[in-house]
Chain A
Amino acid sequence: MQGSQPLALALIVLAVIFAIAAVFFFTVKTTFLAGGAHPAIHWKHAIVFTVLAVLSLIAANFARPKAAVR
Protein backbone atom coordinates (compact mmCIF):
# COMPACT_ATOMS: atom_id res chain seq x y z
CA MET A 1 0.00 0.00 0.00
CA GLN A 2 1.29 3.47 -0.95
CA GLY A 3 1.63 5.75 2.11
CA SER A 4 0.05 9.17 2.44
CA GLN A 5 1.82 11.89 4.40
CA PRO A 6 -1.33 14.11 4.79
CA LEU A 7 -3.39 11.16 6.04
CA ALA A 8 -0.67 10.24 8.52
CA LEU A 9 -0.57 13.84 9.78
CA ALA A 10 -4.36 13.97 10.07
CA LEU A 11 -4.32 10.77 12.14
CA ILE A 12 -1.63 12.21 14.42
CA VAL A 13 -3.78 15.33 14.93
CA LEU A 14 -6.73 13.04 15.71
CA ALA A 15 -4.58 11.15 18.22
CA VAL A 16 -3.69 14.43 19.94
CA ILE A 17 -7.39 15.41 20.11
CA PHE A 18 -8.28 12.03 21.60
CA ALA A 19 -5.43 12.35 24.11
CA ILE A 20 -6.69 15.80 25.17
CA ALA A 21 -10.22 14.37 25.53
CA ALA A 22 -8.80 11.56 27.66
CA VAL A 23 -7.03 14.00 29.97
CA PHE A 24 -10.24 16.09 30.13
CA PHE A 25 -12.37 13.12 31.20
CA PHE A 26 -9.71 11.94 33.67
CA THR A 27 -9.46 15.32 35.39
CA VAL A 28 -12.64 17.41 34.92
CA LYS A 29 -16.04 16.72 36.46
CA THR A 30 -18.52 16.98 33.57
CA THR A 31 -21.75 15.70 32.05
CA PHE A 32 -20.43 16.26 28.50
CA LEU A 33 -20.96 13.18 26.27
CA ALA A 34 -21.77 11.19 29.39
CA GLY A 35 -25.30 12.12 30.44
CA GLY A 36 -26.36 12.12 34.08
CA ALA A 37 -27.64 15.04 36.09
CA HIS A 38 -24.53 15.63 38.17
CA PRO A 39 -21.03 16.38 36.87
CA ALA A 40 -18.58 13.57 37.59
CA ILE A 41 -15.20 12.19 36.55
CA HIS A 42 -15.92 9.80 33.69
CA TRP A 43 -12.90 7.51 33.78
CA LYS A 44 -14.61 5.03 31.44
CA HIS A 45 -14.73 7.72 28.73
CA ALA A 46 -11.14 8.62 29.60
CA ILE A 47 -9.95 5.03 29.06
CA VAL A 48 -11.81 4.76 25.76
CA PHE A 49 -10.32 8.05 24.48
CA THR A 50 -6.87 6.87 25.57
CA VAL A 51 -7.36 3.67 23.55
CA LEU A 52 -8.57 5.72 20.58
CA ALA A 53 -5.48 7.96 20.81
CA VAL A 54 -3.19 4.92 20.74
CA LEU A 55 -5.11 3.36 17.84
CA SER A 56 -4.92 6.64 15.90
CA LEU A 57 -1.14 6.67 16.34
CA ILE A 58 -0.97 3.07 15.10
CA ALA A 59 -3.15 4.02 12.13
CA ALA A 60 -0.80 6.95 11.42
CA ASN A 61 2.10 4.50 11.44
CA PHE A 62 0.23 2.43 8.82
CA ALA A 63 -0.58 5.50 6.73
CA ARG A 64 2.89 7.09 6.62
CA PRO A 65 4.95 6.57 3.47
CA LYS A 66 7.48 3.77 3.94
CA ALA A 67 10.95 3.50 2.54
CA ALA A 68 11.06 1.02 -0.35
CA VAL A 69 12.00 -2.51 0.77
CA ARG A 70 14.95 -3.92 -1.15
Chain B
Amino acid sequence: MLSAGLILFLAALQGVTELFPVSSLGHAVVVPPLVGLNFRETDPAFVPVLTVLHLGTAGALLFLYRRDWARIVAGFFRAAVRGRIDDPDQRLAIMLVVGSVPAGIIGLLLQDPLKTLFGNPRLASLFLIVNGGILFAAEMFRRRDERRRAATEPAHAVLAHEDGDPQFARIEGLSLRTTVFVGIFQAGALLPGISRSGITMAAGLVAGLRHEEAARFSFLLATPIILAAGLLELPALGTDSPTALVAIGAAIVAGVVAYASARFLLRYLRSGRLDPFAYYCAALGAAGLVFIH
Protein backbone atom coordinates (compact mmCIF):
# COMPACT_ATOMS: atom_id res chain seq x y z
CA MET B 1 0.00 0.00 0.00
CA LEU B 2 1.34 3.43 -0.96
CA SER B 3 1.54 6.07 1.78
CA ALA B 4 -0.61 9.21 1.59
CA GLY B 5 2.50 11.40 1.34
CA LEU B 6 3.85 9.41 -1.59
CA ILE B 7 0.48 9.53 -3.35
CA LEU B 8 0.33 13.32 -3.00
CA PHE B 9 3.91 13.56 -4.28
CA LEU B 10 2.93 11.44 -7.30
CA ALA B 11 -0.13 13.69 -7.77
CA ALA B 12 2.01 16.82 -7.99
CA LEU B 13 4.49 15.03 -10.26
CA GLN B 14 1.66 13.81 -12.50
CA GLY B 15 0.05 17.25 -12.62
CA VAL B 16 3.24 18.86 -13.90
CA THR B 17 4.42 16.12 -16.21
CA GLU B 18 1.15 14.95 -17.83
CA LEU B 19 0.79 18.12 -19.88
CA PHE B 20 4.42 19.14 -20.24
CA PRO B 21 5.98 17.18 -23.12
CA VAL B 22 8.13 15.12 -20.76
CA SER B 23 6.10 11.92 -20.10
CA SER B 24 4.24 11.63 -16.81
CA LEU B 25 4.46 7.83 -16.89
CA GLY B 26 8.20 7.99 -17.51
CA HIS B 27 8.57 10.28 -14.51
CA ALA B 28 6.40 8.05 -12.30
CA VAL B 29 8.66 5.11 -13.21
CA VAL B 30 12.07 6.83 -13.20
CA VAL B 31 11.91 9.57 -10.53
CA PRO B 32 11.01 7.50 -7.40
CA PRO B 33 14.01 5.13 -7.71
CA LEU B 34 16.21 8.04 -8.75
CA VAL B 35 15.43 10.03 -5.57
CA GLY B 36 15.49 6.91 -3.41
CA LEU B 37 11.77 6.54 -2.68
CA ASN B 38 10.78 3.10 -1.47
CA PHE B 39 8.21 2.46 -4.14
CA ARG B 40 7.54 -0.21 -6.74
CA GLU B 41 5.70 0.62 -9.95
CA THR B 42 4.40 -2.94 -9.97
CA ASP B 43 2.64 -2.26 -6.63
CA PRO B 44 -1.04 -3.24 -7.02
CA ALA B 45 -2.03 0.26 -5.86
CA PHE B 46 -0.02 2.00 -8.59
CA VAL B 47 -2.61 1.74 -11.40
CA PRO B 48 -5.57 2.78 -9.18
CA VAL B 49 -3.57 5.79 -8.00
CA LEU B 50 -2.71 6.74 -11.60
CA THR B 51 -6.43 6.40 -12.42
CA VAL B 52 -7.41 8.92 -9.78
CA LEU B 53 -4.67 11.29 -10.91
CA HIS B 54 -5.77 10.98 -14.54
CA LEU B 55 -9.29 12.02 -13.56
CA GLY B 56 -7.86 15.10 -11.81
CA THR B 57 -5.82 16.03 -14.88
CA ALA B 58 -8.75 15.46 -17.24
CA GLY B 59 -10.92 17.68 -15.02
CA ALA B 60 -8.30 20.44 -15.26
CA LEU B 61 -8.20 20.20 -19.07
CA LEU B 62 -11.99 20.22 -19.32
CA PHE B 63 -12.09 23.32 -17.12
CA LEU B 64 -9.31 25.04 -19.07
CA TYR B 65 -11.10 24.53 -22.41
CA ARG B 66 -14.67 24.47 -21.09
CA ARG B 67 -16.00 26.87 -23.76
CA ASP B 68 -14.20 24.98 -26.53
CA TRP B 69 -15.58 21.68 -25.26
CA ALA B 70 -19.13 23.01 -25.11
CA ARG B 71 -18.84 24.03 -28.79
CA ILE B 72 -17.03 20.80 -29.73
CA VAL B 73 -19.61 18.49 -28.12
CA ALA B 74 -22.51 20.43 -29.66
CA GLY B 75 -20.70 20.44 -33.01
CA PHE B 76 -20.10 16.70 -32.84
CA PHE B 77 -23.77 15.87 -32.32
CA ARG B 78 -24.89 18.28 -35.05
CA ALA B 79 -22.38 16.82 -37.51
CA ALA B 80 -23.18 13.22 -36.54
CA VAL B 81 -26.93 13.68 -37.03
CA ARG B 82 -26.67 15.63 -40.31
CA GLY B 83 -23.85 13.50 -41.71
CA ARG B 84 -21.91 16.52 -42.89
CA ILE B 85 -19.57 19.22 -41.56
CA ASP B 86 -20.97 22.74 -41.76
CA ASP B 87 -18.71 24.85 -39.53
CA PRO B 88 -15.24 24.92 -37.86
CA ASP B 89 -16.56 23.60 -34.51
CA GLN B 90 -18.03 20.54 -36.19
CA ARG B 91 -14.77 19.99 -38.11
CA LEU B 92 -12.72 20.25 -34.91
CA ALA B 93 -15.08 17.78 -33.18
CA ILE B 94 -14.70 15.22 -35.97
CA MET B 95 -10.91 15.78 -36.03
CA LEU B 96 -10.69 15.01 -32.30
CA VAL B 97 -12.74 11.83 -32.73
CA VAL B 98 -10.64 10.73 -35.71
CA GLY B 99 -7.44 11.50 -33.79
CA SER B 100 -8.52 9.72 -30.61
CA VAL B 101 -9.81 6.44 -32.04
CA PRO B 102 -6.45 4.96 -33.23
CA ALA B 103 -4.75 5.70 -29.90
CA GLY B 104 -7.75 4.28 -28.02
CA ILE B 105 -7.77 1.01 -29.95
CA ILE B 106 -3.99 0.50 -29.87
CA GLY B 107 -3.96 1.46 -26.20
CA LEU B 108 -6.63 -1.05 -25.30
CA LEU B 109 -4.96 -3.89 -27.17
CA LEU B 110 -1.40 -3.23 -25.95
CA GLN B 111 -2.16 -1.91 -22.47
CA ASP B 112 -1.65 -5.16 -20.55
CA PRO B 113 1.57 -6.33 -22.27
CA LEU B 114 3.08 -2.85 -21.86
CA LYS B 115 2.30 -2.73 -18.15
CA THR B 116 5.27 -5.06 -17.59
CA LEU B 117 7.51 -2.17 -18.72
CA PHE B 118 6.37 -0.10 -15.72
CA GLY B 119 8.77 -2.10 -13.55
CA ASN B 120 11.79 -1.26 -15.71
CA PRO B 121 13.11 2.25 -14.88
CA ARG B 122 16.20 1.82 -17.06
CA LEU B 123 14.06 1.15 -20.14
CA ALA B 124 11.87 4.15 -19.25
CA SER B 125 15.07 6.21 -18.99
CA LEU B 126 16.00 5.12 -22.51
CA PHE B 127 12.55 6.11 -23.80
CA LEU B 128 12.91 9.51 -22.10
CA ILE B 129 16.03 10.09 -24.19
CA VAL B 130 14.06 9.04 -27.30
CA ASN B 131 11.32 11.50 -26.29
CA GLY B 132 13.93 14.27 -26.05
CA GLY B 133 15.10 13.31 -29.55
CA ILE B 134 11.52 13.55 -30.90
CA LEU B 135 11.07 17.06 -29.47
CA PHE B 136 14.45 18.17 -30.71
CA ALA B 137 13.76 16.76 -34.20
CA ALA B 138 10.40 18.57 -34.36
CA GLU B 139 12.07 21.88 -33.55
CA MET B 140 14.83 21.13 -36.06
CA PHE B 141 12.23 20.63 -38.82
CA ARG B 142 10.45 23.82 -37.73
CA ARG B 143 13.69 25.83 -37.87
CA ARG B 144 14.39 24.44 -41.34
CA ASP B 145 10.92 25.57 -42.46
CA GLU B 146 11.54 29.02 -40.98
CA ARG B 147 14.93 29.33 -42.75
CA ARG B 148 13.40 28.21 -46.03
CA ARG B 149 10.64 30.76 -45.54
CA ALA B 150 13.14 33.50 -44.76
CA ALA B 151 15.06 32.69 -47.95
CA THR B 152 12.02 32.69 -50.23
CA GLU B 153 9.89 35.39 -48.60
CA PRO B 154 12.19 37.87 -46.83
CA ALA B 155 9.25 40.19 -46.14
CA HIS B 156 7.77 37.66 -43.73
CA ALA B 157 11.09 36.65 -42.18
CA VAL B 158 11.15 39.72 -39.94
CA LEU B 159 8.16 38.47 -37.98
CA ALA B 160 9.51 37.68 -34.54
CA HIS B 161 6.29 36.02 -33.49
CA GLU B 162 4.19 33.29 -35.07
CA ASP B 163 0.95 35.17 -34.37
CA GLY B 164 -0.35 36.70 -37.55
CA ASP B 165 2.05 34.74 -39.73
CA PRO B 166 -0.12 32.96 -42.30
CA GLN B 167 2.56 30.31 -42.81
CA PHE B 168 1.85 28.75 -39.42
CA ALA B 169 -1.71 27.59 -39.08
CA ARG B 170 -4.38 27.17 -36.44
CA ILE B 171 -5.78 23.72 -35.62
CA GLU B 172 -8.61 24.22 -38.07
CA GLY B 173 -6.01 24.21 -40.86
CA LEU B 174 -4.99 20.58 -40.22
CA SER B 175 -6.23 17.86 -42.57
CA LEU B 176 -8.16 14.86 -41.27
CA ARG B 177 -5.41 12.60 -42.64
CA THR B 178 -2.78 14.41 -40.55
CA THR B 179 -5.01 14.05 -37.52
CA VAL B 180 -5.24 10.27 -38.03
CA PHE B 181 -1.43 10.03 -38.19
CA VAL B 182 -1.12 12.11 -35.03
CA GLY B 183 -3.67 9.81 -33.37
CA ILE B 184 -1.65 6.73 -34.28
CA PHE B 185 1.59 8.28 -33.00
CA GLN B 186 -0.22 9.22 -29.80
CA ALA B 187 -0.32 5.52 -28.94
CA GLY B 188 3.48 5.68 -28.53
CA ALA B 189 2.79 7.34 -25.19
CA LEU B 190 1.87 3.92 -23.80
CA LEU B 191 5.62 3.41 -23.51
CA PRO B 192 6.84 4.87 -20.20
CA GLY B 193 9.15 7.72 -21.19
CA ILE B 194 7.39 8.71 -24.42
CA SER B 195 5.17 11.77 -23.87
CA ARG B 196 1.67 11.93 -25.36
CA SER B 197 1.68 15.71 -25.36
CA GLY B 198 5.25 15.68 -26.69
CA ILE B 199 4.35 13.47 -29.64
CA THR B 200 1.21 15.42 -30.51
CA MET B 201 2.93 18.82 -30.14
CA ALA B 202 5.85 17.60 -32.27
CA ALA B 203 3.45 16.29 -34.92
CA GLY B 204 1.50 19.56 -34.81
CA LEU B 205 4.70 21.57 -35.33
CA VAL B 206 5.80 19.40 -38.24
CA ALA B 207 2.31 19.78 -39.73
CA GLY B 208 2.76 23.57 -39.62
CA LEU B 209 0.87 24.63 -36.48
CA ARG B 210 2.04 27.55 -34.37
CA HIS B 211 3.64 26.46 -31.10
CA GLU B 212 0.71 27.64 -28.98
CA GLU B 213 -1.79 26.01 -31.33
CA ALA B 214 0.23 22.77 -31.27
CA ALA B 215 -0.12 22.77 -27.48
CA ARG B 216 -3.86 23.54 -27.70
CA PHE B 217 -4.28 20.72 -30.23
CA SER B 218 -2.32 18.39 -27.94
CA PHE B 219 -4.42 19.27 -24.88
CA LEU B 220 -7.75 18.93 -26.71
CA LEU B 221 -6.67 15.61 -28.21
CA ALA B 222 -5.41 14.34 -24.85
CA THR B 223 -8.58 15.11 -22.89
CA PRO B 224 -10.82 12.25 -24.16
CA ILE B 225 -7.95 9.75 -23.88
CA ILE B 226 -6.97 10.79 -20.34
CA LEU B 227 -10.62 10.89 -19.25
CA ALA B 228 -11.35 7.48 -20.79
CA ALA B 229 -8.18 6.00 -19.25
CA GLY B 230 -9.33 7.24 -15.85
CA LEU B 231 -12.97 6.17 -16.18
CA LEU B 232 -12.16 2.73 -17.62
CA GLU B 233 -9.80 1.98 -14.73
CA LEU B 234 -12.30 3.09 -12.07
CA PRO B 235 -13.46 -0.50 -11.32
CA ALA B 236 -9.80 -1.35 -10.59
CA LEU B 237 -10.13 0.81 -7.48
CA GLY B 238 -10.30 -2.14 -5.13
CA THR B 239 -8.83 -3.10 -1.82
CA ASP B 240 -5.40 -1.74 -2.80
CA SER B 241 -6.78 1.72 -3.53
CA PRO B 242 -6.01 4.76 -1.42
CA THR B 243 -8.72 5.87 1.00
CA ALA B 244 -11.43 8.13 -0.40
CA LEU B 245 -10.02 11.21 1.32
CA VAL B 246 -6.49 10.63 -0.01
CA ALA B 247 -7.86 9.81 -3.48
CA ILE B 248 -9.92 13.01 -3.64
CA GLY B 249 -7.01 15.06 -2.28
CA ALA B 250 -4.64 13.52 -4.85
CA ALA B 251 -7.08 14.19 -7.72
CA ILE B 252 -7.45 17.84 -6.62
CA VAL B 253 -3.66 18.28 -6.30
CA ALA B 254 -3.10 16.70 -9.74
CA GLY B 255 -5.87 18.84 -11.26
CA VAL B 256 -4.71 22.16 -9.78
CA VAL B 257 -1.07 21.54 -10.69
CA ALA B 258 -2.07 20.39 -14.20
CA TYR B 259 -4.18 23.52 -14.73
CA ALA B 260 -1.30 25.79 -13.65
CA SER B 261 1.14 23.81 -15.82
CA ALA B 262 -1.10 24.08 -18.89
CA ARG B 263 -1.56 27.84 -18.44
CA PHE B 264 2.21 28.27 -18.01
CA LEU B 265 3.00 26.13 -21.05
CA LEU B 266 0.53 27.96 -23.30
CA ARG B 267 2.01 31.30 -22.26
CA TYR B 268 5.59 30.05 -22.65
CA LEU B 269 4.94 28.69 -26.14
CA ARG B 270 3.77 32.07 -27.44
CA SER B 271 7.45 32.82 -27.89
CA GLY B 272 9.34 29.77 -26.61
CA ARG B 273 10.27 26.45 -28.16
CA LEU B 274 10.32 22.81 -27.08
CA ASP B 275 14.14 22.57 -26.91
CA PRO B 276 14.40 23.02 -23.09
CA PHE B 277 12.05 20.06 -22.62
CA ALA B 278 14.11 18.01 -25.08
CA TYR B 279 17.32 18.69 -23.14
CA TYR B 280 15.55 18.00 -19.83
CA CYS B 281 14.23 14.61 -21.03
CA ALA B 282 17.64 13.63 -22.37
CA ALA B 283 19.31 14.65 -19.08
CA LEU B 284 16.77 12.82 -16.89
CA GLY B 285 16.99 9.73 -19.09
CA ALA B 286 20.78 9.77 -18.93
CA ALA B 287 20.67 10.19 -15.14
CA GLY B 288 18.30 7.23 -14.92
CA LEU B 289 20.60 5.04 -17.00
CA VAL B 290 23.64 6.01 -14.93
CA PHE B 291 22.21 5.98 -11.39
CA ILE B 292 19.46 3.32 -11.43
CA HIS B 293 20.70 -0.25 -11.23
Contacts and interface: CB of A to CB of B under 8 A. Distances in A.
A35 B101 contact: no
A55 B109 contact: no
Interface in A2-53: 33-36, 43-45, 47-48, 51-52
B232 A33 contact: no
Q: Is the interface of B mostly helix, strand, loop or mixed?
A: helix
Nearest to B236: A44
Given A43-B235, A55-B101, 18 more contacts: A33-B109, A34-B112, A35-B112, A35-B113, A36-B112, A44-B108, A44-B232, A45-B108, A47-B232, A48-B104, A51-B104, A52-B101, A58-B80, A58-B83, A61-B80, A61-B81, A62-B83, A64-B83
17 contacts: A33-B109, A35-B113, A36-B112, A44-B232, A45-B108, A47-B232, A48-B104, A48-B105, A48-B108, A51-B104, A52-B101, A55-B97, A61-B80, A61-B81, A62-B79, A66-B83, A66-B84
Interface of B: 79-81, 83-84, 97, 101, 104-105, 108-109, 112-113, 232, 235
8 nearest CB pairs, A to B: A61-B83, A58-B80, A35-B112, A62-B83, A44-B232, A48-B108, A64-B83, A55-B101
